[in-house]
Amino acid sequence: MIPFNAPCVYGGEEDCIKRAIKARKFSGDGEYNKKCEKILETITGSKKVLMTSSCTHALELSALAIGIKPGDEVIMPSYTFTSTANAFVLRGAKIIFVDIRPDTMNIDENKIERAITKKTKAIVPVHYAGVSCEMDKIMKIAKKYKLRVIEDAAQALTSTYKGKHLGAIGDIGTISFHETKNIQCGEGGAILINDPDLIEKIEIYREKGTDRSKFFRGEVDKYGWVDQGSSYLLSELAAAFLYPQLKAVKKITSARAVAWKKYYKLLKPLERGGLIDLPTLPAHCVVNYHNFYIKLKNINERSELIKYLKNKGVYAVFHYIPLHSSPAGKKFGKFVGKDVFTTKESERILRLPLFYGLGNKQIEKVTKEVKSFFRWLQ
């Protein structure tokens, strides 16, 4: 069976964990946390990076930092994971869903402005599959209406938009190191703080509402409870596991690029024949090859292909069910404008196996079976 995902293990993780154990430092903000933060600041150019226990928690910190309150509205695509919405629902916000673009599966930047009301507080672009949203237009709209921009860059580490790293363009960015991501530590994340005025706030919220970070920097002689907050720190053992992968992120990304491009080349004849659609990569974007997907005719054809591939020893999966169609989506949000592409495109998409270490023979096996499926249909 060719799995859909195999969590990345690059090499050196065990040695780093052993060193962390020997140092007798297990909670957050230890040596490896600091090393990971410095690498991420160097990669992204963000003013301040703090490790978090998950991207979900990084999003929750973002909602706290920009002062989301009950009654506020937050605009985002419906085609995303629940964490994108939950982070703001937890603060009492109403989620305003708008349609996506069929080419990138990202929020349609031309549908955002008409969804803005006096209650709108923020826009949350989600960079699906590591492909950037049209950030120039989004930032222009945010500036016009004085809105905050929180980038959900969970899948987008090292991806760029017109030379700018995703997560470092808006006020805040969030990244995931879940085991399904390009580099991983099981559960983990990071918050990228691009507005200097938010740094101290986020440090406090992240440290259980205390000014403990200032204490460790020697800025205060003791620390105490100064605001609301929770525990959002990444375990030092998780950071130690992540560190070797962060150092090797270029090599890991390059390996994924080779696999992605091989899929594209081998499946291109099916697209030319009108049987599938392949991913679109805008010329002004550099991607990290987070996933490879194809689009089928409809949900029925997709379901048949999933079953067919499983019987042939290939595990392929679809992705999000649009949030606005879920019970919680209906309770906590609403879709503004027409759902032209969100549901339609989400029902067509099928993700093929892609992970660090995926071999040429495995890719050839997957593509061979996809092609044989269409011969079987005929």
Beta carbons within 10 angstroms of residue 351's beta carbon: 17
Q: How far apart are CA 174 and CA 192, in angstroms?
A: 6
Angle between helices 299-311 and 360-377 (to 10 degrees): 120
| Residue 231: inside a domain | yes
Last residue of a domain, one of 198, 218, 247: 247
CATH code assigned at 298: 3.90.1150.10
3-state SS of the chain: helix, strand, coil percent to 5?
A: 40, 15, 40
Q: How far apart are CA 294 and CA 314, in angstroms?
A: 15
pTM: 0.96
| Residue 4: inside a domain | no
CATH code assigned at 94: 3.40.640.10
> Consecutive sets of 10 residues in the chain, 378 residues long: mean pLDDT of each?
97 97 92 98 97 98 98 98 98 98 98 98 98 98 98 98 98 98 98 97 95 85 90 97 98 98 98 98 97 98 98 96 97 98 98 98 98 90
69 and 111 share a domain?
A: yes
What is the DSSP code (8-state) at residue 210? B
Q: How many domains does the chain have?
A: 2
Long-range contacts of 244-250 (CB under 8 A, 24+ apart): 244/10, 244/11, 244/12, 244/13, 244/15, 244/16, 245/8, 245/10, 245/13, 245/183, 245/184, 245/185, 246/36, 246/39, 246/40, 246/183, 247/39, 248/10, 249/43, 249/157, 249/158, 249/182, 249/183, 250/158
- Write out the residue range of the structural domain in which residue 34 sits: 13-247
| Residue 68: inside a domain | yes
Q: In 3D, which of 209, 132, 119 has the Cα closest to residue 173?
A: 132
Query: In the sheet where 48-52 sits, what is the strand order?
Result: 48-52, 189-193, 172-176, 148-152, 120-123, 73-77, 94-98, 333-335
| Residue 269: inside a domain | yes
| Residue 229: inside a domain | yes
Give the model's pLDDT for residue 213: 87
| Residue 84: inside a domain | yes
Tokens coding 270: 């099916």
Give the model's pLDDT for residue 92: 98
76 and 103 share a domain?
A: yes
Give the model's pLDDT for residue 214: 86
Give the model's pLDDT for residue 219: 87
| Residue 8: inside a domain | no
Give the model's pLDDT for residue 297: 97
Q: Which residues contact 218 (CB under 8 A, 6 or more apart)?
A: none
Are 194 and 46 in contact by the 8 Å Cβ rule? The answer is yes
